Amino acid sequence: MAHIPERMCVACRKMRPQNELIRFVRTDGGVKIDMNKKLFGRGAYICKDIGCIHLAAKKRGIERHFKCAVAREVYDEAEKLV
């Protein structure tokens, strides 16, 4: 049986398999969604759930994780993926 990596959602703080989460990466141009989970850098994860995306925006989960400002468009783009 293959090992499935787990990551924690920055909104609900639950551990989930990595393929059930949306990955965000901080780049020089700001924070963006990493669709293929291949971009270089530290990642933050949110569940593929509208409730978790709204909670992360409200609690500023990605901002706290990366210690930088995040545009509202990043959360809107994540909502479109769900």
Given a cut of 90, whether residue 46 has pLDDT beyond it is yes
CATH 3.90.1200.10 applies to domain 6-81: no
pLDDT digits (tens, 9 = 90+) for 54-66: 999 999 999 999 9
Q: How many angstroms separate the CA atoms of 47 and 9, rounded?
A: 6
Q: How many angstroms separate the CA atoms of 49 and 24, rounded?
A: 15
Q: Is 63 exposed, middle or buried (0-12, 13-18, 19+ CB in 10 A)?
A: middle
DSSP state of 19: G
Q: How do beta strands 43-47 and 6-8 pair? A: unpaired
What pTM does this model have? Answer: 0.90
Domain positions in the chain are 6-81
The tokens describing 10, both together, are 């920055």
pLDDT digits (tens, 9 = 90+) for 18-29: 999 999 999 888
At residue 40, the pLDDT reads: 92
